[in-house]
Chain A
């Protein structure tokens, strides 16, 4: 079923909407939640919470891209849950995305002084992404938005794991350069 039809179901308050959402995006949701939380029970709970939230907000909202909308909600719920558990002490990173991987490529908290800075960073990251080939964009987003392991990305993109790791490392380097060029302190 296409997204428009699913959204129509939500507007009609039909519970089939959730079933159809799960059919289409369920596996992706569960895997993404697992990538962040590292726990199957929590991932399942997180996915269910996401459906509940989507049910609550559609209507009145009518997302242009249902998949992105659902995944964004799921990711926020999962990250919220992880932060709620003081994960710095117990996990050290966001599921498969380790602290050391993130640490060297984005601005220090001190250099983000407010909403304006944050928006500037977002724009810089989007600028950086838009300049990448499509394959690299997918790789970057799979790793850092969907929190997939390098092995999974390699499998999906028909590459070796080593190549994925190397590409991501280079992308992080380039992102760092891009941010520095934009005057954003690392």
Chain B
């Protein structure tokens, strides 16, 4: 985030009262006057002397203004030829038009260094190459802009055939006091081995002007690229010679994937600038004001140099004509250039639709600073891929192989991110088929875990919230972010470029956390200790101040920001296993097997397939879900997740945890204590039941008697141990052969990596209410917390497998030691049964006192021991 973003965000978060106070509603102008306090002007008497002084003072003022205007007019008259509209200034010294001595047309190569003069433009033919299928021609065009000539165009005519207009200027350049240099490129398909007649046409005002000279061009019968470039011009010769040995040419600057079809039906680099251009329009246009900065003789030299088009597929700042290459070749100071740019800006602001020619302060700052990376970053189009200071436009990607991508350091993640954009470049179907296939094959190697793969998710937080959502976004505690990462440090730019490709960080090193900075920028142990020491001092100072003010919230925040000795040692050691647990945020998941750190944001933007690939298990998510609920829908700070986003997020997590679809809400029912109690005594013998009924009747309290039966049912139902159903065969044994039905499958919840629970179809809350209708509040909470075979998931009640429901071999006898209006104690003495005779022995197995108390809500059971725990 940048400084201005922080500023605007913070202003947006200011208290409502300031927003309301300053709200410029209609009619508030009068209110504004109230704010200042009205000034009442009293009429005053003016003497003749004062009146005379007034007239004299004003006369002097008027005379001074008149003198200034006259002076300016004289200066303009004398300097008119320096500042007024001029005929187009052609780059360099005009070369005489070539005239052949006989009827034979000169070879095209003789056009080098020649400037073709048209009525309102000069065209330099700079490069011709034939690649086995097409003639590639490069021009530079210097024309005088005019409102009447919005789209100047160049053609190369080949035996009457012609290309589409190859060069156009933005309407912003329609200014009659400015001349423009535009670099352009034309590609024409020609048959190998044939000889063609070539000439150039220019359209400035709707009427084509044709160059008087024609040339011949014989297409070599080759498939490889060949440059036919010779010239007698001393300057150009040197430039051409530099490229004479193809082996020395930079392969990145040349087409390497010759299998690609023509990208567009006709060749018009200006029209398809998104495909061909690395730079924004204003960065490739040098206005007349700028050309006045260097010596007039030299101003056009860079243009001449670049008309040789050193690179077929330019990718650096130096490969083609742009403002930076122009000023560096002329050795101009950035301050002078930026000064002239700012003057130009003033001019462009007076024009309609000239907005894209205005340099913003961010851009001029970067030009002044001179850092090639930041300059490239500032002026590259959104279609480019920036690696270091290299800028790869779609044309480069189109004409290069995947091996070149790798060698250039282009990350497949970047290609993956740009795919949709490139699809919109308007290439021919055939071209996109080839280009798309190449891009996809490279993007398929991208690290999916670092990218957003679930694009169906809505924006997580409502737009009206202007808060940081650290618990959602960050893998780390607040103090682990920042402090390090000095902009001036070597490797900083590369790190930033890398981080830009990571949309969903999941390792220790793929975000701006301290450990990532330490590794990427190579901080030494001493530097780490020094930086953290300074940080700690700052926060200790704030802590002292907070303690003085007894500000509890601030004290806690400050303490959290201070690094402990253990944390510093872990950072210095670089040991991931030591660092992660110390700094991981509460809501993030640490996958120990691979040291991935998974934030809620990562979970939000990834699919179940990715969860599995990252080693995130359902149990890990189950453990964090209550925290997510607190953090994202129970914040109470107005920063809750949007309702639809939370629904989408939990639905996705549910599917992963449940292993199938959850039951629809309307299928969930109320859990009933009565239903459970009705079957609780089915295994009692008649004698046992008679004995129990007699004891309960003798109580003389029907409510307590009914309560006893319910309490018994609940305790025996839920006290049983769970059964480990950790594999499919056990599941099948428990649920039956049809457990893999969709309906059964939906009912499985994975817990702790080995326990599986089936959906009961009941609402959790009704289960809790049922318990609390039988037991006292505290005892019910205690029982529910200890239940091993009951689980809450969302709003649902899940049962895990439980052991057999056979009763233990015991014989119970009941006594009532206490029976008052507010307390009843029923003592159950359980005797072991003789296995042979099936009769009770004298051996006592358990003695339990069941306690019932009268509460404001009626009778409740305050304790109920489980005596017939299954064997």
Q: Which residues of A contact B (CB under 8 A)?
A: 24-25, 27-28, 31, 53, 57, 64-65, 67-69, 71-73, 75-77, 79-80, 83, 86, 88-94, 97-100, 102-103, 105-110, 112-116, 118, 121-122, 125-126, 129, 134-135, 137-142, 144-146, 148, 152, 155-159, 183
Contacts of B483 in A (CB 8 A): 113
B496 to chain A, nearest CB (A): 12
Contacts of A25 in B (CB 8 A): 25
Q: Is B26 part of the contact surface with A, judged by Cβ < 8 Å?
A: yes
Cα–Cα distance between A110 and B538 once the two chains are bound (Å):
14
Q: Is the CB of B22 within 8 A of A114?
A: no
Cα–Cα distance between A152 and B32 once the two chains are bound (Å):
12
Q: Is the CB of A114 within 8 A of B18?
A: no
Cα–Cα distance between A64 and B16 once the two chains are bound (Å):
9
Q: Is the CB of A118 within 8 A of B12?
A: no
The segment out of B90-98, B356-364, B499-507, B747-755 that lies at the interface is B356-364
Q: Is the CB of B22 within 8 A of A145?
A: yes
Q: Is B2 part of the contact surface with A, judged by Cβ < 8 Å?
A: yes
Known: A109-B1, A110-B482. A28 touches B12 (CB 8 A): no
Cα–Cα distance between A115 and B419 once the two chains are bound (Å):
34
Q: Is the CB of B24 within 8 A of A115?
A: no
Could you name 7 residue pairs across A and B whose Cβ atoms are closer than 8 Å?
Answer: A28-B23, A67-B25, A122-B14, A134-B35, A157-B35, A158-B32, A158-B36
Cα–Cα distance between A178 and B10 once the two chains are bound (Å):
15
Q: Is the CB of A27 within 8 A of B26?
A: yes
Contacts of B338 in A (CB 8 A): none
Q: Is the CB of A57 within 8 A of B464?
A: yes
Q: Is the CB of B356 within 8 A of A113?
A: no
Q: Is the CB of A76 within 8 A of B12?
A: yes
Which of B2, B360, B464 interacts with A72 by CB under 8 Å? B464
Contacts of A113 in B (CB 8 A): 478-479, 481-483, 561
Q: Is the CB of A69 within 8 A of B478?
A: no
Contacts of A159 in B (CB 8 A): 36
A4 to chain B, nearest CB (A): 14
Known: A79-B8, A93-B361, A156-B24. A67 touches B463 (CB 8 A): no
B242 to chain A, nearest CB (A): 33
Chain B, range 609-636, C-beta contacts under 8 Å to A:
none
Which of A57, A100, A145 interacts with B14 by CB under 8 Å? A145
Contacts of A68 in B (CB 8 A): 16-17, 19-20, 23
Q: Is the CB of B463 within 8 A of A156?
A: no
Cα–Cα distance between A65 and B478 once the two chains are bound (Å):
32
Chain B, range 418-473, C-beta contacts under 8 Å to A:
462-466, 468, 470
Q: Is the CB of A69 within 8 A of B16?
A: yes
- Chain B binding surface, main DSSP class: helix
Which of A57, A67, A72, A107 interacts with B12 by CB under 8 Å? A72
Given A68-B19, A94-B8, A100-B361, 9 additional A-B pairs, CB 8 A: A73-B463, A99-B361, A110-B487, A114-B561, A125-B10, A129-B18, A183-B538, A183-B541, A183-B542
Q: Is B29 part of the contact surface with A, judged by Cβ < 8 Å?
A: yes
Cα–Cα distance between A67 and B23 once the two chains are bound (Å):
8
Q: Is B687 part of the contact surface with A, judged by Cβ < 8 Å?
A: no
Contacts of B9 in A (CB 8 A): 79
Cα–Cα distance between A116 and B32 once the two chains are bound (Å):
36
Q: Is the CB of B6 within 8 A of A112?
A: yes
Cα–Cα distance between A106 and B478 once the two chains are bound (Å):
21
Q: Is B13 part of the contact surface with A, judged by Cβ < 8 Å?
A: yes
Which of B4, B5, B25, B487 interacts with A28 by CB under 8 Å? B25
Known: A57-B464, A76-B464, A107-B3. A67 touches B19 (CB 8 A): yes
Q: Is the CB of A125 within 8 A of B360?
A: no
Q: Is the CB of A115 within 8 A of B468?
A: yes
Q: Is B804 part of the contact surface with A, judged by Cβ < 8 Å?
A: no
Q: Is B557 part of the contact surface with A, judged by Cβ < 8 Å?
A: yes
Q: Is B15 part of the contact surface with A, judged by Cβ < 8 Å?
A: yes
Q: Is the CB of B481 within 8 A of A99?
A: no
Known: A28-B25, A53-B463, A53-B464. A114 touches B14 (CB 8 A): no
Q: Is the CB of B33 within 8 A of A102?
A: no
Which of A27, A76, A93 interacts with B4 by CB under 8 Å? A93
Chain B residue nearest to A32 in the complex (CB)? B24
Q: Is the CB of B19 within 8 A of A141?
A: yes
Chain B residue nearest to A36 in the complex (CB)? B8
Q: Is the CB of B5 within 8 A of A83?
A: yes
Q: Is B695 part of the contact surface with A, judged by Cβ < 8 Å?
A: no
Chain B, range 27-66, C-beta contacts under 8 Å to A:
28-29, 32-33, 35-36
A142 to chain B, nearest CB (A): 5
Which of A71, A94, A107 interacts with B23 by CB under 8 Å? A71
- Chain A binding surface, main DSSP class: helix
A99 to chain B, nearest CB (A): 5
Q: Is B280 part of the contact surface with A, judged by Cβ < 8 Å?
A: yes
Cα–Cα distance between A156 and B24 once the two chains are bound (Å):
8
Q: Is the CB of A157 within 8 A of B16?
A: no
Q: Mark B475-489, 1 if CB is under 8 A from A, else 0.
A: 000110111011100
Q: Is the CB of A28 within 8 A of B24?
A: yes
A28 to chain B, nearest CB (A): 6
Contacts of B3 in A (CB 8 A): 102-103, 106-109
A111 to chain B, nearest CB (A): 8
Cα–Cα distance between A26 and B29 once the two chains are bound (Å):
17
Q: Is the CB of A129 within 8 A of B35?
A: no
Cα–Cα distance between A114 and B481 once the two chains are bound (Å):
7
Q: Is the CB of A134 within 8 A of B21?
A: yes
Contacts of B14 in A (CB 8 A): 122, 125-126, 129, 141, 145
Cα–Cα distance between A125 and B6 once the two chains are bound (Å):
12
Cα–Cα distance between A90 and B24 once the two chains are bound (Å):
28
A15 to chain B, nearest CB (A): 20
Chain B residue nearest to A103 in the complex (CB)? B3
Q: Is the CB of A146 within 8 A of B24?
A: yes
Contacts of A100 in B (CB 8 A): 361
Contacts of A110 in B (CB 8 A): 482, 485-487
B25 to chain A, nearest CB (A): 6
Q: Is the CB of B18 within 8 A of A92?
A: no
Cα–Cα distance between A141 and B16 once the two chains are bound (Å):
11
Residue from B13, B19, B486, B487 with most neighbouring chain A CB atoms (10 Å): B19
B551 to chain A, nearest CB (A): 11
Closest 9 CB pairs of A and B: A92-B360, A113-B482, A114-B478, A141-B22, A68-B16, A68-B19, A73-B464, A106-B7, A138-B22
Q: Is the CB of B11 within 8 A of A145?
A: yes
Q: Is the CB of B462 within 8 A of A146?
A: no
Q: Is the CB of B24 within 8 A of A148?
A: yes
Q: Is B382 part of the contact surface with A, judged by Cβ < 8 Å?
A: yes
Chain B residue nearest to A64 in the complex (CB)? B16
Which of A77, A145, A155 interacts with B19 by CB under 8 Å? A145
Known: A76-B12, A125-B14. A137 touches B22 (CB 8 A): yes
Q: Is the CB of A116 within 8 A of B561?
A: yes
Contacts of B465 in A (CB 8 A): 76
Q: Is the CB of A92 within 8 A of B382?
A: no
Contacts of B462 in A (CB 8 A): 53, 57
Q: Is the CB of A156 within 8 A of B21?
A: no
Q: Is the CB of B28 within 8 A of A103?
A: no
Which of A75, A93, A118 interacts with B468 by CB under 8 Å? A118
Cα–Cα distance between A125 and B9 once the two chains are bound (Å):
12
Contacts of A83 in B (CB 8 A): 5
Contacts of B16 in A (CB 8 A): 64-65, 68-69, 72
Q: Is B378 part of the contact surface with A, judged by Cβ < 8 Å?
A: yes
Known: A67-B19, A99-B4. A88 touches B362 (CB 8 A): yes
Q: Is the CB of A99 within 8 A of B6?
A: no
Q: Is the CB of B20 within 8 A of A65?
A: yes
Known: A73-B463, A116-B478. A102 touches B12 (CB 8 A): no
Contacts of A126 in B (CB 8 A): 14-15, 18
Known: A98-B361, A116-B561. A146 touches B22 (CB 8 A): yes
Q: Is the CB of B466 within 8 A of A72?
A: yes
Cα–Cα distance between A138 and B14 once the two chains are bound (Å):
13
Cα–Cα distance between A185 and B486 once the two chains are bound (Å):
14
B398 to chain A, nearest CB (A): 23
Q: Is the CB of A114 within 8 A of B24?
A: no
